[in-house]
Structures are given as structure tokens and as C-alpha cells.
Structure 1
Amino acid sequence: MARLAGKRTLITGGTSGIGLETARQFLAEGARVIVTGVNPDSIAKAKVALGEQVLVLRADSASVAAQQDLAQAVKEHYGQLDIAFLNAGVAAWAPIEQWTEQAFDASFNINVKGPFFLMKALLPVFASPASVVFNTSVSAHVGAAQSSVYAATKAAFLSMTKTLSSELLERGIRINAVSPGPVETPLYDKLGIPDAYRDQVNKDIAASIPLGRFGTPGEIAKAVVYLASDESKWTIGSELVVDGGRLING
């Protein structure tokens, strides 16, 4: 059964990792899909991977103006929007003494400010009903060393699933969050971990997960499909943790 048949969907950060796999699964469920990215190579690869029926747009998640332009592009392409998966984000981990104001602001701009103002810009575009899924993180709950800024951005974003649900429900906009644990995606390649230590870091991360391994983008995408679809229409302001049991260990 095509659970998203004919649904007009937007996936930010949809050119790699969880976003790209979610785009594939949305297509398999019958949806129409727009994805965004910022890296030219990833954008080019996504166009090939997803096919000509998918509109791939460049949109800088840190820019409020870019979010407004994206909302306009969605309106021009679809008229209205049924589903949005706000997935674009950055994972920067560092000890507190290494953080600068510029780096701090960059993380919050991409992970919090950008998606907040995209939601605002999309308000006239959302159909009623519409389903929105935020990609947050178990880091919002786990006090991992060196994750202070990243975890704070995800905690802020997760909070919006409740506050914006309360505010926008009367408009027919239903918001939920998926919170992945460690997943095998390019995001982890951007953490700046030296190659010499990468294997050990991966082993340490896997050891913190009761299932003993990283998750896959496909496993997260399946959760997003559920939250986006009408199967979850009585689920509002909720968080679906998909983490291999990571939170069991605190």
C-alpha cells in the first residue's frame, strides 16, 4: 500500500544520509518529493540517485532569507505542501574551551533558527491537514562529553515539537520528532575526528548502544514515513526515539 500516495513533500538536507534515504522511501510510498542540500557534489549525486521526478534545490539552512526563498519555491512547484521533514543539520562536537561565538552561532543558525523560520515561511503553504517531522537526536537527552552545543540545539528543536504543535494544531499542522541514536551517515564524517582515532571512536560509540552497532539511514527513514503518514494522525507533539536502546544506558 502506498501510504503517501500523491502527498506533496519537502525534505531538507535530503541529498545524503537520512534525508536521501527518506526521499527514496517517500517515493516508494507514492509521494512527490522536493529535497534540499547545500553541497554541490551532494546535490548532483542526489539528482542522479532520485531521478528527474524529484526537484533538488540548493538552500542554506543557516539563512533566513534562503528559507523564505525555499518556501516560495515550494509554493510555486506544488501550490500546497502536505508533508515536511526538517532534517538539515550539523553535528559539531568540541570541548567547551574550543568553542567560539562564531561557531556557536553557526550551529544554532543551522539547527534551530533556520528550521524555525522555514516553518514560519511555510505557514501559508501548508495544506490542512499537514504533517511535519523534525529530526532531533537522542543527544537532547544524553549528557555526552563535548556535545554541549550540539545537544543544546537538538533540545531546543525538540522542544518546538510541543510548543509549535500547540500553536499550529488549529491550522491543521501536526508536528512530531524522530530522535535517532548514532547512525551510519556522512554527518559523522564531519565531526573532525582524525582517521587514526576513527576506528576506536566508532567502537566506543557502538559499545554505548545495547544493540552493539550504529543504526542505518533506512531504519530512521521508516520511522519518518510512519510519522509523516496518516497512520500516525493521532500522534501530535511526540518524539519517536530510534536509537538501538542507547537511552537505556543514560
Structure 2
Amino acid sequence: MKMLEDKVAVVTGGNSGIGKETARLFAREGAKVVITGRRQDVVDAAIDEIGNGAIGICGDVASIEHHRHLAAAVRERFGLIDIYMANAGVINLSSSSAVAEEEYDRHFAVNTRGVFFGVQTVAPLIREGGNIIVTSSLAATKVLPQHAVYAGSKAALAAFARTWTLEFKERKIRVNILTPGPVETEILGKLGVNKADRPGFERQMSDLIPAGRMGRPEELAHAALFLATGTFVNGLELFVDGGMSLT
């Protein structure tokens, strides 16, 4: 029997990177998967890759109205859900002195506000015994150059998750945090790392990781599957960073 047979899973930011690989694995393990993303064309392409009847809903997690629309669509289609993975996020690296007000606001609107109100809105649909997975970042606890705003926006998530672990205990809903280190995803391009510079960047990052390399999205997906199925795993922050947190 598949590990997520007949489960319903919602993955925000499931159109790329860790979110897409997690959605693909969940679907392969039998889940009915719903992904979200900001661009319809990218969401459509991800749905084709994920297959297994996955559906996509386009919208911006910074918008509370999007969460309401998502909840209504999921309720109409499935009734209740079993797994909610708050994964969508943005990152733009800047030294603190160079951060613009708009850049600051966007990080907190998506990475922090989007997670909080996403969980608040969807929580009534989570089946008793279901679970929530929050995607954080190693940057929330390890000081990295030019990460101040991004790190701050992610640091709040651990506090949210710890509180939710107790708030949802009567419904037996587990809440865990998935904390990646550097991972080989499309986000490298968004950080301004072009294809020509990418090998050098990856070597530089690999030197900081005891495992000797960056992570792969599928490795984070398997960690998410562990959190989704580990029925006595609750209130955990799982670092999947090749040991980088120790350096």
C-alpha cells in the first residue's frame, strides 16, 4: 500500500523546487495533491510534471483572499485535507544597508504573513490527526551574508509552529518544520547566479557543507514525506542541510 493512499495534500509554492518535488512524491505515494503558485503557466507546467491527477490553483500567498479562495476550492473538491505544507517563499539577498522598503515588505508578506494566514485559513479543513509542515530555512538560525531580511522573515516560523503544536493538540494535528540548507533549485537563478557562474558558486557552497555538496530537491521531498507520515513526530524542526548548521 502506498504511504499516502487516499490522503489529500496541499503544497503552497508547489510549482517549483522543493515544493514541486514534494508534491510529485506525495502524488506518487497515493495522495490527491493540490499545489499553488503565482504564475498560471508555471503552475500548469508543474501539474503536467506531477501527474497523478494533481490540480493547481494560481494565487499569491501574500493575499488573504487567495487563502480563502484556496480553502473554498479544496472544501468543494475534497471536503477535508490531511496535509498542509506551507512552502511558498521569496528570497532576495541584500546587505542591510541596501534593503529597500518594498523588498522588506515583500519578504515578510510572503514568508511570514503568508504562512500565518495560510494556516489560519486552512486549519478548519485539516482532518483530525492530519499535519502541517512549515518550510523554513537554515538562514533563520545560522548567520549568512546578505540574508538579514530573509532570515528575519523565516525566523518567525519556528515560533508559529511551536505555538500551533499546542493549539492544535486537541485535534491531534501535528506541526513540524522542514529546514533546508542550500539546495539545487531554480532559486539560484533568482539570486543572480547565472549559468556560467553556477559551478563556482556550488563549489563555494559545498566547501561550507560537511556532506561536500548542496542538497537536491528530491532529498527534501523525502524529508517532507517523513514528517507527513511520522505519526509520533510533532513539534520537530528537521534540519536537512548536509550538516551545514554545525559549521
TM-score (norm 1): 0.94
- Structure 2 contact 12–19 (Cα < 8 Å) conserved: yes
Amino acid corresponding to residue 236 of structure 1 in structure 2: N
Match of 1:16 in 2: 16
Q: Distance in 2 between matches of 1:30 and 1:112?
A: 30
- Structure 2 contact 140–151 (Cα < 8 Å) conserved: yes
Match of 1:246 in 2: 244
Q: 1:226 to 1:195 in 2, by over 3 A?
A: closer
Pairing partner for 2:231 from 221, 230, 233: 233
Q: How does 1:59-208 map to 2 (within 5 A)?
A: 59-193=59-193, 197-208=197-208
Q: Distance in 1 between matches of 2:41 and 2:155?
A: 30
Are residues 1:28 and 2:34 paired?
A: no
Q: Please, what is the CA RMSD of the aligned residues?
A: 1.5
- Structure 1 contact 91–188 (Cα < 8 Å) conserved: no
Gap regions ≥5 residues in structure 1: none
TM-score (norm 2): 0.95
Bigger mean CA offset, 131-140 vs 167-176: 167-176
Q: 1:39 to 1:105 in 2, by over 3 A?
A: same
Task: Give the C-alpha shift of residue 44 in structure 1.
Answer: 2.3
Q: 1:90 to 1:120 in 2, by over 3 A?
A: same
Q: Distance in 2 between matches of 1:29 and 1:196?
A: 37
Q: Distance in 1 between matches of 2:13 and 2:225?
A: 16
Task: Give the C-alpha shift of residue 123 in structure 1.
Answer: 2.2
Secondary structure, counterpart of 1:107 in structure 2: helix
- Structure 1 contact 85–135 (Cα < 8 Å) conserved: yes
Bigger mean CA offset, 43-52 vs 166-175: 43-52
Q: Distance in 2 between matches of 1:61 and 1:244?
A: 29
Amino acid corresponding to residue 50 of structure 1 in structure 2: I
Figure out how many residues of one structure are paired with residues of the other and give that number: 247
- Structure 2 contact 177–237 (Cα < 8 Å) conserved: yes
- Structure 2 contact 15–42 (Cα < 8 Å) conserved: yes
Secondary structure, counterpart of 1:88 in structure 2: coil
Q: Distance in 2 between matches of 1:50 and 1:187?
A: 19
Bigger mean CA offset, 8-17 vs 35-44: 35-44
Q: Distance in 2 between matches of 1:79 and 1:171?
A: 17
Q: Distance in 2 between matches of 1:219 and 1:244?
A: 10
Give aligned-pair identity as a percent: 37
